[in-house]
Structure 1
Amino acid sequence: MLNGIKQIFGKEMARILKDKKMVFSVFFLPVIIMVALLTIINSLAGQMQSDIEDHKSIVWMQNEPESFEAFLSSAGMEYSVRTVDSDSDRAEAEDQILNGKADLLIEFPENFDQLVAGFQEGDPVPQVKTYYNPSEDYSAQAYQEISVGVLESYRQTLLAGRVGNPDAITVFTVNSDNDDMVIQDDEKASGRALGMMLPYFITILLFAGAMGIGTDMIAGEKERGTMASLLVAPVKRSSIVLGKVFALMAVSGISSLIYVAGMVVCTPFMMDSMTGMDEALNLNLGADQIIMMGLLLIAIAFLYSAVVALISVFAKTTKEASSYIMPVYMVVLVVGLLTMFRMGDGGRWDFYIPFYNSAVALQLILSHELTMSQYLITLVETLALGGILTVLIARAFNNEKVMAL
């Protein structure tokens, strides 16, 4: 039986590896596309951030007090200021903010300086109103910079003029001089950052790799008529099944390792530009974690290969097999997305859910949080499910009606 498995395995691997176009499309093209996409994303994100930072905010002022104008001048803050002098100006300001042609509207009460200077206990506190468009990047940036930052500094300046020393009425501050406020494990934080995306891409690419090759291994041979001659060869049908499944597992496993390596290299650059992380990702996996990840990837590749092979057995052509597999592929996509938005520690039942448990386990390996019991549950269940599906494939191979489809 072992010789038969070896023969089928060697035949399938030779067919794939000798086809230069297939090798390129399976192993290298996805990595090239992925690196190109991440490079483009990184470049565009950097350009967008630079453009926002270099933009000179267009700010409409209504009843701007002289003290605020003087404050902006002394602080060296330059904005393109437009004045609201009438109702028509106000309508124009709101319309421009709505359409992205202006960024912010600041409305001061009339006679603001006099109200502040003559304030007595019991008087209503003057209110400064700001208006912006959160769906416009320039407007959102202007709101954060001016409405949240500049106006607060202006308020502190006016307060100092009223009480002499604003610290006298400041009960306490929060982290005003605390450079050591962040307490975290950098490796764990980096693992969590990578764990948001890597399990998703690993599961998707593993299944996609198995799907692309697996449909041709079984349904393709049916379509070409070579399966019939293979079934009458002096090789047990169980050996044919195992040889094809192991070959498919090897191809999808190798391709996934290449994809993961590409993701590990490219993810830090993407995280830096898209999340604003100032420090490089610091991922350091121990030998035990690398072994755990390697074994789990083998188990996942085995399961996905068995799923693809089982579906292909019941199809007449590769096109038909692809149409049957697509719903399962969509399930895998959803499972990957669920892990990206997984919050907290989850529950122990997460590790009993097929497909989902392996993605969660990969995520927790990267963040150094996976326990041995959780890992063993995931690994054993994944291998067991792959084994059950392989038995079903072998039975289907022994069914003449199925193989004659």
Structure 2
Amino acid sequence: MWLIFKKEFKELLRDRKTIIFMILLPLLLFPAIFGVGIFFMSNAAEKAENEILKYAIVGEAYAPDIVESFSQASDKFEQVAIDGANTDTATATSTDKEGYATLIKNETLDFVLVIPETFNPDILTSGQHKIELYLNDAGLNKVYGRVAEIIDVYMDEYQLSAFTQLGLNESQQEALLKPISIEKQNIADDREVWGERIGGFLPYFIFILCLQGAMAPAADLGAGEKERGTLETLLISPMDRYKLVLGKFFTVSAAGIITALITVSSMALWGIVLSQGMAIEFVVEVMSMIGIVDFVLIFLMLVPVVAVFAAILLSLSIYARSFKEAQSYMGSLIMVVIFPVLIAMMPGVELKGAWVWVPLTNVALAMKELFKGTMDYFALFGIFTSTAVIAIGLIMFCIHWFNKEKVLFR
């Protein structure tokens, strides 16, 4: 068995695809994902903030001060004349609204402001004003926020003017604006907050990388042997069939475990690099909360998970007629792996009760709890036991599968 393992593992290390999936992919994928994500998000936000917005105002005569403020901010806004924009009546009919929507959708305008004819700085007399803002808020355009920056200036002025007329002091003004104030006291610490936000997504990437790391060697050790014609040579050897299977299984598992180790190490390494070298605030905060013990436990939980993956992948590879067919079967397995992780991300699903014993889902939940710092370590018994039982059952099935001639020589 160990002779088979040694032979197969040496051959794997000579394969470039194996090195890519086992080492380079997990080592580089995490920084690439976060780096590309942060780059595009920051670029999109900067573009949306600096883009000159094209606008039209309907009912300009009722709020000349607001109109003037938009005109003065020519580096941020560009006014476009449209039919009906300067009319005395600013009541938007259904036809007008359709026209505004058309202009915004075809990107002639970014937004349209409709000011009511009742608009008046004396809000004690006129009451609350409702300015209609027509925009396409489906994308990251920051139109509402940039318009609100200008409107809020006048809102504060009108409030102050009204309070002065009423003779209210600062305390009375605050009480009038907000009669009841709720002060939120969050009992969750920062680690728990960050862990809840990002902890659920990490198993998604980790599981996929571990599966990818074991996929290439599994396809080669089963279907690849069939294509090369070397499987028959192994079968006529005096070694027991179950030893052949275990040797191949341990080879695939070793590839997956190395991928898991590199993946977890990559998370810790790049987290330290980003937090120390680039001083990204949230990375510094998260990395300062997570201890080395948490990373060790994450790796240990991945060991039986990788064994499950290895047994399934090797069974599929043995069944497949060719390397290409094996890859086709294994590609669909990714959806099976994603589903338990998605369950772990659903609201109300916690590492309690029966969920402790649900394979893969329990590991994903445990990873989130470790990042949150709320891990119930007694649950580790259920996690390791359930995953190990599934792995052993799948290994036995793989041995049974390998002993069937109709499977080996399809």
Instruction: Please report the TM-score for the alignment, with normalisation by the length of structure 2.
Output: 0.80
CA distance in 2, matches of 1:388, 1:137: 50
Q: Tell me which of 299, 317, 323 is aligned to 2:322.
A: 317
> Which sits farther off after the overlay, 29-38 or 99-108?
29-38
3-state secondary structure, aligned to 1:170:
helix
CA distance in 2, matches of 1:118, 1:184: 42
What one-letter code is carried by the residue in structure 2 that aligns with 1:80? E
Q: CA shift at 1:232, angstroms?
A: 2.3
Q: Tell me which of 187, 192, 195 is aligned to 1:188.
A: 192
What one-letter code is carried by the residue in structure 2 that aligns with 1:45? M
Cα gap change, 1:401 to 1:67, in 2 (>3 Å): closer
User: Is residue 354–residue 381 contact of structure 1 (8 Å, CA) maintained in 2?
Assistant: yes
Q: Tell me which of 207, 212, 236 is aligned to 2:216.
A: 212
Cα gap change, 1:288 to 1:89, in 2 (>3 Å): closer
Q: CA shift at 1:182, angstroms?
A: 6.6
Cα gap change, 1:373 to 1:173, in 2 (>3 Å): farther
3-state secondary structure, aligned to 1:282:
helix
Asked if 1:387 corresponds to 2:392, the answer is: yes
- Structure 1, unpaired ranges of 5+: none
Q: CA shift at 1:62, angstroms?
A: 1.9
Q: Deviations over 1:65-103 (max 9, x none)?
A: 134346668999963344611499987654332223322
State the partner residue of 1:151: 151
Task: State the identity as a percent.
Answer: 23
What one-letter code is carried by the residue in structure 1 that aligns with 2:103? Q
Q: CA shift at 1:183, angstroms?
A: 6.1
CA distance in 2, matches of 1:150, 1:318: 64
CA distance in 2, matches of 1:96, 1:269: 48
State the partner residue of 2:136: 133
Cα gap change, 1:229 to 1:72, in 2 (>3 Å): closer
Cα gap change, 1:267 to 1:132, in 2 (>3 Å): farther
Q: Deviations over 1:235-294 (max 9, x none)?
A: 2222212111111111111113223444556679999xxxx9766442343454333222
3-state secondary structure, aligned to 2:137:
coil
Instruction: Please report the TM-score for the alignment, with normalisation by the length of structure 1.
Output: 0.81
- Structure 2, unpaired ranges of 5+: none
> Which sits farther off after the overlay, 283-292 or 295-304?
283-292
> Which sits farther off after the overlay, 201-210 or 24-33?
24-33
State the partner residue of 1:259: 263
State the partner residue of 2:377: 372
State the partner residue of 1:100: 107
CA RMSD of superposed structures (Å): 3.7
Asked if 1:171 corresponds to 2:175, the answer is: yes
CA distance in 2, matches of 1:118, 1:195: 49
Q: CA shift at 1:383, angstroms?
A: 0.8
Cα gap change, 1:89 to 1:321, in 2 (>3 Å): closer
User: Is residue 59–residue 105 contact of structure 1 (8 Å, CA) maintained in 2?
Assistant: yes
Q: CA shift at 1:227, angstroms?
A: 1.7
CA distance in 2, matches of 1:143, 1:208: 44
Q: Deviations over 1:4-39 (max 9, x none)?
A: x21111111111113345323542146445544543
